[in-house]
Structure 1
Amino acid sequence: MTSARRGAEFDVVVIGFGAAGAAAAIVAHDAGARVAVIERGDVGGGHTRESGGSLRKIDDAVAATAYFETLAGAGELLPLYRSFAEEANGCLAWLAGLGAQLVEVHGEWIAGYPRALRRLYPGAPLPAGIGPRVRVAPASGQTAAEALWTVLESAVRSRDITVRYRTPARQLLVDPDSGRVDGVRVANRAGRTSVLRARHGVVLACGGWAGDPGLLQDYIGTTLPMLSSVSSNVGDGIRMGESVGAAFRHMSALAVVLGYRLEDGQHALQHVMRAPGFVYVDRTGERFVDETGIDFHLLPLAFMQFDHARATYPHLPAYVVFDDVTRRAGPIVNLALRATQRCGWSEDNSSEVRSGLISSAPTVPGLAAALGLPARRLAETVEAYNAAVRSGNDPFGRSAEHMAPIGTPPYYGIRLEPALVNTQGGPVRDEHGRVLRPAGEPVPGLFSAGELGSMWATLYPGAGNLTEALITGRIAGRSATAGVPVAAADATKGAP
């Protein structure tokens, strides 16, 4: 490793220009630091612009911390849960100060199935202290996520913050005498490298590794299509963390939803059913789960169950099967996401039927043939489900309130699988945003924020990643500038 003794000089260098990086840069700048942000992609926003745009309000920080602890255990993560609960509302107020118009979302914010449940884990204690989802009110033609990014990007542009696009980080630079991270070697569009010196700190806010099939195969044993079209989250933070001896956590943890893989094989659109007349079946043509009683972030885990006896994933691929009543009820995708709006989808799914993306047939056995499923088994499955609708007693525990018959031809089906929202693993950080080594000591001068080394693992609480990105970005910005001489603040540009 080489010290950054030459090159452009800054107080803080932020790697990645999504919500976490923007928050870190704004707070560091407003604390008096000279800040540079480097972004691998052509534009900023990353997964932030592609997300659902939901943030989390906290009603009671003590109760919320206890709830998080109940779900995921205490230990080293407890200070992070406490920090999340204590900082969340202040973060929302900070956003409002940047010009965001915030709107609380009460009830089920997804109109359809799978549902966004208030109580994600029915067998666990009530989610005490957890408030509603909050979104930035979008302008016409915007998603809530795009509205959030507009606020953050505008705040960065209104400040004297250097932003460089198409500038991937190649190497963390370390002072050989102090052992402190004091800069970054970066590449430009032509591939030539240069140095950015960071007198007080480097913040890793470059996202996860959803765009690196090799890392996905190594850590989760398979590859999944991405819900986002962002291709810049390719594990830069993993490799840089390894280079300075960072500890790692949650490397097999993912945030996933159900989706339909697109023709390119790498991306997916989020699955939503607008009426309850449908079932999920696996490749045997049989049901395997309560389709409507599990939260949309958790339901994919049922699809990803591994059969150790047969060394396979028996529920992958799976299919959603429905009739013409459900087809006409509305688009079977989440229209609130940027990826869906970019691709387009017809209101009654008819265009997708004509294109062949959704298979159709006049009979259930005919649909089975189109999907490559056992015809007799699928027909028996649909018949058994319709019998459960009539009796109100479903063997998988599905509520009668959320069942409707599959009986009006034609019949339809489409392949369904988990789609990757983001990875959660990365270098361990503490509640001050400092990256830690295996023995628990900080890597001097190195901080992180966002999904890279997230506090969330399998038991994801909903609206957690985007809120965490802003909270940890603000914390990293504060910590990285702890030694920066305080400059006179420009009152017209806000404060952290």
Structure 2
Amino acid sequence: MTASPTHWDEEADVIVVGYGFAGATAAMTAHDLGAKVLLIEKAPEAHKGGNSRVSANIVFWPNDIDKAKTYFRAMAGPYMDDIPDEMLDVWAREMLANKAWLEGLGMVPVEIPYVEFPEFAGSDCVHVLLNGEGPVGGERLWRLIEASVDARRIDTLYETPVVDLVRDGREILGVTAERLGKRIAIRARRGVVLTCGGFENAPVMVRNYVTGLPTVYPVGTPYNTGDGIRMGIEVGADLWHMNNVSGPILSFKAPDIPVAQWLNLAHGKSYIFVGADGGRFTMEGEPCSVGDAHGKVRRHGQWQQQSLPLPIHMIFDETYRKSGHIGKAGADWDVSHGNRYDWSDDNLREVAKGWIKTAATLPGLADLIGIPADALADTVARFNADAREGYDPDWGRKANTLAPLETGPFYAMELTPAFVNTQGGPRRDAHARIVGVDGEPIGRLFSAGELGSIYSFLYQGGGNIAECFAFGRVAGRNAAQGADGDGTARS
């Protein structure tokens, strides 16, 4: 937190910190209401867009407000108590409005079947939309939003991390940022909107807030390092949903690439995942989310976060090694920004690098990776017997993905947990105002997107992007219309 400076280097009516879907939406909304907007992005221009750009680019669109609220309550489950009814009302109303708003920008909505929790009441309201025909991902929706920002000629600063909020008492006056090696002070005449994402690439925050993941990497942008959370804490913001994450995903982390890499598993069948004790712990497959729904699993009749028996290794045989490349180009940050590792088709380059360990026998492989040899042998023997029968009684893997793991030499590759994104951050209210630990809004400070997301437990795919649009509009409207010193938006 910085005290009010004696000199402002720049001024705008509304400052938006972070250029993804939420930031773009807030910036466009404020601009369309007549505000002079400054959009500030930490990343270089070539890497703008954050997780929004490299996501699946799908939008969860509920077509009925009451059913949407029912479905949300079912997803939140025991974590519903801290979400006020007014907040849920605004979420449902703005989510419903997303389709028409996006069509107004030029979106051609194409529906895909993707109801994550069909057993929940209200799930028949769920529709998931793409921008035009084509596969999931591919930046089609991002390019539409980016073009809409460009058409408005909104001033944007790149490679300019915001480091502090400037305040006077309970009122936010602007920000300080680092620009070309210098600290600059930028005044916000009406308000500041934080849309700078989560903390996927902030290892200390992950260890402090998320249980059981001492090491984790992003599969999206590496620029999400918890900046908005840190700045919010410094001005007295309350936090919520800090332990809720979309993940873990089991992936591979190459030493020289900043984010984790998706796996390509479908080309073969003779592989398993084992934990530190040499036993299987999940149904292997794609995507490797280690859970039925964005990292959550149903155990003993209840949904819960999947725990991971680290370290985890993928064990496979020579047949699988020859069947195709294990690393793949997915909808991740490196691929979208042209900085990717090209995995060898037969995986031998990765064996030579030492990323994949190999031994002539399973006991020898177990010794190499430090897991009990007897346990690994028993696990593989059980898996092979079940695979020959075409049935996986332990974890329910489909018959067409099973084959005995029996042809030496044998291989092991350590897998790392990764996040799609985090959900926690400064608490916001129904007006997208950031709320202090005293329960009162902090003057002229707003947020949208995954920074302090409304999602507290289970998550419907496409929900974060839809929330970016929904609360991006709310934040942009209220910031553009100004706020009184007590944080009450004049709307």
Taking structure 2 as the reference length, what is the TM-score of the superposition?
0.83
Check if 1:128 corresponds to 2:124. Answer: yes
- 8 Å CA contact retained: 1:276, 1:404: yes
Alignment of 1:342-361 (within 5 A): 342-347=340-345, 349-361=347-359
Check if 1:444 corresponds to 2:448. Answer: no
Letter in 2 for 1:29: H
Q: Which of 144, 149, 158 lines up with 2:142 in the alignment?
A: 149
Q: 1:344 to 1:364 in 2, by over 3 A?
A: same
Q: Report what 1:251 is aligned to.
A: 242
Letter in 1 for 2:59: L
Q: Report what 1:36 is aligned to.
A: 38
Q: Report what 1:52 is aligned to.
A: 56
**Number of residue pairs aligned between Structure 1 and Structure 2:** 460
Q: 1:334 to 1:455 in 2, by over 3 A?
A: farther
Q: Which of 272, 283, 290 lines up with 2:276 in the alignment?
A: 283
Letter in 2 for 1:53: N
Determine the C-alpha separation between the residues in 1 that align with 2:324 and 2:104: 38
Q: Secondary structure at the match of 1:269?
A: coil
Determine the C-alpha separation between the residues in 1 that align with 2:132 and 2:411: 36
Q: Secondary structure at the match of 1:320?
A: strand
Q: Which of 330, 337, 342 lines up with 1:336 in the alignment?
A: 330
Check if 1:189 corresponds to 2:176. Answer: no
Displacement of 1:80 in angstroms is 4.0
Check if 1:70 corresponds to 2:64. Answer: no
**Identity between Structure 1 and Structure 2 (%):** 36
Deviations 1:213-272 (A, max 9, x none): 222232236543323463432222122212222111112222222211221486311234
- 8 Å CA contact retained: 2:222, 2:259: no
Check if 1:478 corresponds to 2:482. Answer: no
Determine the C-alpha separation between the residues in 2 that align with 1:132 and 1:330: 32
Q: 1:389 to 1:80 in 2, by over 3 A?
A: farther
Letter in 2 for 1:98: L
Q: 1:95 to 1:331 in 2, by over 3 A?
A: farther
Q: 1:401 to 1:286 in 2, by over 3 A?
A: same
Q: 1:187 to 1:355 in 2, by over 3 A?
A: closer
- 8 Å CA contact retained: 1:49, 1:338: no
Letter in 2 for 1:263: P
Determine the C-alpha separation between the residues in 2 that align with 1:84 and 1:145: 27
Q: Secondary structure at the match of 2:191?
A: strand
Q: Report what 1:24 is aligned to.
A: 26
Q: Report what 1:309 is aligned to.
A: none
Q: Secondary structure at the match of 2:187?
A: strand
Determine the C-alpha separation between the residues in 1 that align with 2:264 and 2:96: 30
Q: 5+ residue gaps in structure 1?
A: 108-117, 307-312, 485-496
Q: Which of 81, 87, 100 lines up with 2:94 in the alignment?
A: 87
- 8 Å CA contact retained: 2:14, 2:30: yes
Q: 1:464 to 1:70 in 2, by over 3 A?
A: same
Determine the C-alpha separation between the residues in 1 that align with 2:365 and 2:121: 42
Q: 1:94 to 1:358 in 2, by over 3 A?
A: farther
Q: Which of 191, 200, 205 lines up with 2:195 in the alignment?
A: 205
- 8 Å CA contact retained: 1:224, 1:266: no
Displacement of 1:12 in angstroms is 0.6
- 8 Å CA contact retained: 2:220, 2:421: no
Determine the C-alpha separation between the residues in 1 that align with 2:40 and 2:13: 14
Determine the C-alpha separation between the residues in 1 that align with 2:352 and 2:399: 32
Check if 1:322 corresponds to 2:316. Answer: yes
Alignment of 1:214-225 (within 5 A): 214-220=204-210, 222-225=213-216
Q: Secondary structure at the match of 2:443?
A: strand
After the TM superposition, which of the residue ranges 261-270 and 20-29 deviates more from structure 2? Answer: 261-270
Q: Secondary structure at the match of 1:224?
A: coil
After the TM superposition, which of the residue ranges 240-249 and 264-273 deviates more from structure 2? Answer: 264-273
Deviations 1:75-119 (A, max 9, x none): 342544443443335324433433344443336xxxxxxxxxx44
- 8 Å CA contact retained: 2:251, 2:262: yes
Q: 5+ residue gaps in structure 2?
A: 484-491
- 8 Å CA contact retained: 1:225, 1:261: no
Determine the C-alpha separation between the residues in 1 that align with 2:284 and 2:156: 45
Taking structure 1 as the reference length, what is the TM-score of the superposition?
0.82
